[in-house]
Amino acid sequence: MSGSFFKHNHDPKIVGSYDLEETLGRGHFAIVKLARHIFTGEKVAVKVIDKLKLDAVSKAHLFQEVKCMKLVQHPNVVRLYEVIDTQTKLYLILELGDGGDMYDYIMKHENGLDDDIARTYFRQIVEAISYCHKRRVVHRDLKPENVIFFKKQGVVKLTDFGFSNRFMPGEKLETSCGSLAYSAPEILLGDSYDAPAVGKIIIQYTVLVVKKKEEKKMKRKERQKEKERKKERKREGRALRDLH
């Protein structure tokens, strides 16, 4: 891990070769900030972890996250560029996505995605997971929120390896972790297995898209009924005027 230099204040604005800017997100022990490389201007995401708030379990997860991210270098995995360690903070310099996460993407696209585009994204997710497993790394927290879009590159990438771990063929990981709604039964029972989470991501995408289409269809029907009711009221009004 490399050293760092700071401006002389409580919350440094410069870390290593990066100028920290606005906050992109917050967690229990960390915040994610937008940053720019001082010399190249390249934008990155910096995960700032307060080591003073970490208990033994959290420290172990953090160690595994860094170790696993260094092992996985794949076009569909968010890159860890650099780790900067200080007495109180740990800074993870990460590749910055430009299209939000898959959950938000699904929610914003009421008409769904073209089937070919959807297949392309899911193939990329599976390829990333397959690569991780070949490197004997299991993610253990697969969900739409941990799939990031990179519009300029035209790809999606896995991120947040906070629950990741190494495994050996034939051995089981016994820790129960991850997001319950997406956890594989094998993980809850102490095994290492990601495939059900992939299936649940696909199901969520499909269900949300179908639900949104049905809601839109119902709204169109309701608008059409309202138009017909207005026309009927106008006809009734004209009929009453004709009687007088």
Question: Binding-site residues for ATP, please?
Answer: 47
Half-sphere exposure of 114 (CA within 13 A, CB side): 3
| 3-state percent breakdown (helix, strand, coil) of the chain, nearest 5 | 45, 20, 35
Question: CB 85: neighbour CB atoms within 10 A?
Answer: 14
Sheet holding 30-37, edge to edge: 14-15, 18-26, 30-37, 43-50, 89-94, 80-85
Examine the residue annotation and report whether 104 is marked as an active-site residue of this protein. no
Give the active site residue among 11, 104, 116, 141.
141
* Both tokens assigned to 52: 């003073």
Burial class (CB in 10 A: 0-12, 13-18, 19+), 68: buried
* Both tokens assigned to 86: 């200080």
Is residue 164 within 8 Å of 138, Cβ to Cβ?
yes
Q: Coil, helix or strand for 52?
A: helix
Residue position matching structure tokens 């050293």: 3
- The residues carrying an active-site annotation are 141
